[in-house]
Chain A
Amino acid sequence: MALFDQKTKDQLKQLFSKMVKPIKIHFWTQEIECPSCLMNHQFLEEISSLSDKIKLFEHDFVKEKDLAQKYNIDKIPSILITDENESILGVRFFGIPAGYEINSFIAACLELAGAGEPIDSDVEKRIKNIEKKVHIQVFVTLTCPYCPSAVMAAHKLAIINPNIIADMIESSTFTPLAIKYNISSVPKTVINESMEFVGAQPLNTILESIEKL
């Protein structure tokens, strides 16, 4: 059964029509797919059929181990959205971006396709000045209305500065990780294992925390 009905498809097509440049979506799964991998796979197949600017690349996490390492993928199901030239490799989704997270997924596609939201030039400069490696993990649930804005802020940082990697992590797909980081309220953002905050923080707040790292 299709995940998207006709109305949703039309809505998505209209949104994707704003894309200026093509984007690539790399998806990692494995031969015998876990239930959430299967669902994620179908989601991306349906998504990529809605725009000729979206090119989907499917990878086997086990068989293509070297490639996974090259892209820094350590768990599945995982989605990496990148630009045509693969100059930005930090916009990632672990677990299906359904429910409210469809919004952060669309936003990431549009941003990488040259149809993103403009950002204050001073803020952009500060983001570009970050020289250390930063790993942001945003834990979400699919029924959380505040979570997409936390994910979008993290992804925006990763799009502007290649030193930053930003992951959406669906808490019920990656239960062991959720336990490791004591996730009991979402969104929860973990930065470089050393800093964390609960709730959707504005981009400026996240940026200030990163600058203090």
Chain B
Amino acid sequence: MNLNFQFLGFENIENKTKPLEFNTIYDVIIIGGGPSALTAAVYCLRKGVKTALITKDFGGQVTETSIVENYMGYKYIEGISLAQKFKEQIQQFELGLKSNVIVDKIENQSIKKVFCSDGTVYRTKSIIISTGKRWRTLNVPGEREFLGKGVAYCAICDAPLFKDKDVVVVGGGNSAVEASIDLAKLAKKVTLVQNLEKLTSDKILIDKLNNFNNVDILFSHIVTKIDGKNTVERIDLLNLKDNKAFEIKADGIFIEIGLIPNSDAFENVVAMNQYKEIIVDCACKTSAEGIFAAGDVTSVPYKQIIIAAGEGAKAALSACEYVMSKKEE
């Protein structure tokens, strides 16, 4: 059993954030809670503009990353600890804060409206969208029915539950190969199913995976169905080369096929590319005046924590400049 004590940080910092007000017109409302949103909040508050942040949770995908080794200032930090530090940094400001809700839609007028899932509506002069991305699903029969009954998306969380069992991992990038390595240490057998002819993961990870003798890799195969009685028992596969369908026995399936942007709420308000990422210019401006976007939800290439944070800073400065220019008018 891995006892490694993982402290999430309990630093005694006074929390100055406060609930959102209905009768206030904010200068900036930030939507999201990941590195770009939280960085944007710090920049806005230091500029002294009236700022609110609305989010489902804190840290975004950083909390799902076991270890971060490329965020400057930390040679090595647990993703969850880094997220906690981000959160602590915003708590020192009088930020309007609403968590545990999602934004359903926004309306773009000169005073913009933000509609939350709990029925509340808030008004603001500008908006920064930093809603990030979420796990992509396979969209095959059985995936939803067996969620939590063998279908899993978090390998570090759920790998210990598959000791001596047969599991399938879907994908071929870094997260799929990392999941396969975590599982290979415990499971009886790991079958990695990749739709392409090769893995797209970093070489250093592929080398690590090749050290295990309980891992099978099926190239040019796709999953067509997840099946079982009460829990996952079988996975239907299709060989794309010869079009042959077959099934394999499995107690679980880890789906690690990348991410999709959380941009549904902003459709028809801001322009998006073919991947439904919000298109921004180099100053984080979207196609709509007074609406800015930053981080993984945007068309900016390379989704990295440090890039998201930097984009968040940029979006905040652009939004502040916009708000100031409106005041002068």
Contacts and interface: CB of A to CB of B under 8 A. Distances in A.
Contact of A184 (B78, B156, B161): B161
B231 A143 contact: no
A171 B3 contact: no
B148 interface: yes
A198 interface: yes
B103 to A, nearest CB: 16
Interface stretch (A65-73, A92-100, A154-162): A92-100
Contacts of A6: none
Looking at chain B's contact residues, is the secondary structure mostly helix, strand, loop, or mixed? loop
B158 A185 contact: yes
B100 A100 contact: no
Interface string B240-261: 0000000000011000000000
Report the interface size class on chain A. 35 or more
A103 B161 contact: no
B157 A146 contact: yes
Nearest to B155: A143
Contacts of B10: 15, 103, 106-107, 110
A182 B158 CA distance: 13
Q: Which of the listed residues B79, B149, B230 has the most CB atoms from chain A within 10 Å of its own CB? A: B149
Given A98-B5, A102-B7, A146 B160 contact: no
B230 A171 contact: no
Nearest to A96: B3
A188 B231 CA distance: 15
A145 B78 CA distance: 10
A2 to B, nearest CB: 12
A185 B148 contact: yes
A182 B100 contact: no
Contact of A99 (B6, B150, B251, B252): B6
A4 interface: yes
A183 B231 CA distance: 10
A145 B3 contact: no
Interface string A151-193: 0000000000000000000011100001000111110100000
30 contacts: A3-B3, A4-B5, A8-B5, A18-B12, A98-B4, A98-B5, A102-B6, A103-B6, A103-B10, A107-B10, A110-B10, A141-B160, A142-B160, A143-B156, A143-B159, A145-B6, A145-B64, A145-B66, A145-B79, A145-B156, A146-B63, A146-B157, A171-B161, A172-B1, A182-B149, A184-B152, A184-B161, A185-B147, A185-B148, A186-B158
Interface of B: 1-8, 10, 12, 63-64, 66, 78-80, 100, 147-152, 154, 156-163, 230-232, 251-252
Interface of A: 3-4, 8, 11, 15, 18, 36, 39, 96, 98-100, 102-103, 106-107, 110, 141-148, 171-173, 178, 182-186, 188, 198-199, 202, 204
